[in-house]
Chains A and B, each alone.
Chain A
């Protein structure tokens, strides 16, 4: 299931970019897993099936991009929080540079009259 019946190229782009969106959300603060999933799901519209994000979070943890910790909650069960590691921060910085170069190159080609 793809948001808004997106085309195949967009679906593949989204798949490649999603993990960096996770890292970007964690850049400033630790986030509670459910909050993190909601922000990528219903808030951004990047993902329709929120459940598919959990395996991505697990892989990022296995790869050492993020770490998890448990916190007590005043309402309900303990909560699993995600935080960025140094390796995650480095990967995010490298991707941010690549992404800017990539989008400006594609934008230049997509904008009529900007190239011959």
Chain B
């Protein structure tokens, strides 16, 4: 019955938890380990320092695999071996909106069909309002506008730096607007009436 035994039990539990949660996002795993370590430190400072009492506290915390599974669920990370469902992919994050912004903003330059995919993603978004979907649809406009302008300047006597600047402004306009749209998709759900 030494403190060393209790230390070993705690260290072993934290080690098992770290391994069970290896696939969690690093910040989530670190926070979980810190919370559990705090919990154990609190239990020990309030008298639970014999190996028997520590075992009881660990028992009440639950199996590390079970705690890690709860963390996986709350982090929106798929359970190993379970395919990530559509709800996970698009239900908790804003992957749909981010993909739509990339495809509509600049993706179509490289793959023409990307524009169509972007449109489908944008208009099926549960997070954007109709107005935001319209703005998303218009995302290619700055880049197209810049390209048209540069083409029109082709015959005039304009330095290459100015042309590059026009193209850059077009791309920046599309990406900036896209960033605002993605941010808006992150807003918390409106409280129900």
- Chain A contacts to B: CB under 8 angstroms: 1, 33-34, 37, 41-42, 48-59, 63-64, 75-77, 79-80, 87, 90-91, 94, 98
Interchain Cβ contacts within 8 Å, total number: 86
Whether the pair A37, B191 counts as a contact (CB closer than 8 A) is no
Q: Nearest CB to that of B35 among chain A residues?
A: A54
* B interface size (C-beta, 8 A): 28
Whether the pair A75, B32 counts as a contact (CB closer than 8 A) is no
- Partner among A51, A77, A91 whose Cβ is within 8 Å of the Cβ of B36: A51
Q: How far is the CB of B10 from chain A (nearest CB, A)?
A: 13
22 A-B residue pairings within 8 Å (CB atoms): A1-B66, A33-B35, A34-B39, A34-B42, A42-B60, A49-B67, A49-B70, A50-B39, A51-B64, A52-B67, A53-B70, A55-B67, A55-B70, A55-B71, A55-B75, A58-B31, A58-B71, A76-B42, A77-B45, A87-B188, A91-B191, A94-B192
Interface of B is mostly: helix
Given contact pairs A49-B66, A51-B36, A58-B31, a sample of 9 additional A-B residue pairs in the complex whose CB atoms are under 8 Å apart? A1-B66, A49-B60, A49-B70, A51-B66, A54-B67, A55-B74, A55-B75, A57-B35, A80-B35
B88-126: contact bitstring with A at CB < 8 Å (1 yes, 0 no)? 000000000000000000000000000000000000000
- Chain B contacts to A: CB under 8 angstroms: 28, 31-32, 35-36, 38-39, 41-43, 45-46, 60-64, 66-67, 69-71, 73-75, 188, 191-192
Whether the pair B66, A41 counts as a contact (CB closer than 8 A) is no
Interface of A is mostly: helix
